[in-house]
């Protein structure tokens, strides 16, 4: 059975998609069959892998029960990496999901058929705690929480952790926090150093040792439709995501 990771934080623009795409690519590069699921109607993980959002199967049909996940998963340009895409119709899912039977467990049920095909499945969540994120957290074994290293970093994290406990209690007792990940870090600034110290003091044991630096290559890779390790394998961003993938795998 593979392991399912949700990449979640209801705060926008903190590096969820960058983390999902690049950790998935690093794991695939190590030879593991990997599935990336774009759970966000914005579709940034899909376009970031250079995949056309229109005219192919996607997560929407899978959640609706029209399509088995194994038929909807598309191969990518990267060996060992498949994608369950976010097509434009996924925007309607936030409204439609609550009306479907078993609305909170639809993703988990859909993935149960493919879990043994992939050593790792990564779920890129939208910036909200709505029905799509709830589905992802119910389907996941572990959550990775990217935290942007900036002044309001801790804001909202308490709310997110409350939601995680609630889902653990009510819907998914297996769910654990894999770790919080400091992203877009600027080690040279006092603010960067202060925020890192504060987050580590606030959540001892919970913060990954690996820190993702602010890196131009990481920001531009999606516009070329590829993960950073296929864009510039030796840049600081590639090194950081390789280190993170190792740390994630070693935390088991």
Ligand X SMILES: Nc1ncnc2c1ncn2[C@@H]1O[C@H](COP(=O)(O)OP(=O)(O)OP(=O)(O)O)[C@@H](O)[C@H]1O
From 4, 6, 8, 14, residue interacting with ligand X (rule: CB under 6 A): 14
CA distance 195 to 130: 28
* Binding segment toward ligand X, per CB under 6 A, in 39-47, 87-95, 104-112, 151-159: 39-47
Closest contact distance (angstroms) between CB of 38 and Mg ion is 9
Lay out the site mask for ligand X across 147-186 (x = CB under 6 A, - = otherwise).
------------------------------------xx--
Chosen from Mg ion, ligand X, none, partner binding at 233 (C-beta under 5 to 8 Å by type): none
Which partner, ligand X, Mg ion, none, binds residue 43 by CB below 5 to 8 Å per kind? none
- CB of 14 or CB of 119, closer to ligand X: 14
15 binds, among Mg ion, ligand X, none (CB under 5 to 8 A by kind): ligand X
Q: How far is the CB of 91 from ligand X (least distance, A)?
A: 14
Contact 40, 124 (CB under 8 A): yes
| Nearer of residues 73 and 184 to ligand X, judged by Cβ | 184
- Total residue length of the chain: 252
Q: Where do runs of H (alpha helix) occur along the chain?
A: 16-29, 44-48, 59-64, 69-72, 93-96, 106-112, 131-139, 157-170, 190-202, 216-220, 228-231, 236-250
Q: Is 227 in the site for ligand X (CB under 6 A)?
A: no
Please, what is the minimum distance in Å from the beta carbon of residue 53 to ligand X?
A: 15
Sheet with 74-75, edge to edge strand ranges: 74-75, 81-84, 34-38, 120-124, 3-7, 142-148, 176-183
C-beta separation of 106 from 98 below 8 A: no
Q: What six digits make up the tokens of 120?
A: 């790792």
User: Taking CB under 6 A as the rule, does residue 231 contact ligand X?
Assistant: no
Q: What is the DSSP string of 222-235?
A: GGGTS-HHHH-TTS
Cβ neighbours of residue 177 under 8 Å, at least 6 residues apart? 142, 143, 145, 161, 164, 206
Among 4, 8, 16, 144, binds ligand X (CB under 6 A): 16
Site for ligand X in 120-139 (CB under 6 A): 127
Q: Which residues in this chain contact Mg ion in the complex, by CB under 5 A? A: 16-17, 44
Q: Which is nearer to Mg ion, 48 or 119 (CB)?
A: 48
The answer to whether 214 contacts ligand X (rule: CB under 6 A) is yes
Calculate the CA 177 to chain-centre distance: 13
φ, ψ (nearest 5 deg) of residue 75: -70, 155
Where does this chain bind ligand X (CB under 6 A)? 12-18, 40, 42, 44, 127, 183-184, 212, 214-215, 218-219, 222
């Amino acid at each position: 059975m593979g392991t399912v990771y949700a990449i979640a934080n209801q705060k926008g623009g903190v590096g969820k998609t960058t983390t999902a795409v690049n950790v998935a690519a690093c794991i695939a590069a190590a030879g593991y069959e990997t599935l990336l699921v774009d759970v966000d109607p914005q579709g940034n993980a899909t376009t970031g892998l250079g995949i056309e959002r229109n005219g192919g199967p996607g997560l929407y049909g899978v959640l609706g029960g029209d399509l088995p996940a194994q038929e909807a998963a598309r191969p990518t340009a990267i060996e060992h990496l498949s994608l369950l895409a976010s097509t434009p119709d996924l925007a309607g899912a936030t409204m439609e999901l609550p009306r479907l039977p078993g609305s909170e467990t639809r993703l988990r049920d859909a993935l149960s058929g493919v879990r043994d095909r992939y050593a790792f499945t990564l779920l890129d969540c939208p910036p909200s705690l709505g029905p799509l994120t709830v589905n992802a957290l119910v389907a996941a074994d572990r959550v990775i929480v990217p935290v942007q290293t900036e002044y309001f970093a801790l804001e909202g994290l308490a709310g997110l952790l409350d939601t995680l406990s609630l889902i653990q209690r009510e819907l998914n007792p297996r769910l654990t926090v894999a770790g919080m990940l400091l992203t877009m870090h600027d080690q040279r600034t006092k603010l960067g150093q202060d925020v890192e110290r504060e987050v580590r003091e606030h959540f001892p044991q919970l913060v990954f040792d690996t820190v993702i630096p602010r890196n131009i290559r990481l920001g531009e890779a999606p516009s070329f439709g590829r993960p950073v390790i296929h864009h510039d394998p030796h840049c600081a961003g590639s090194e950081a995501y390789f280190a993170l993938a190792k740390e994630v795998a070693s935390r088991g």
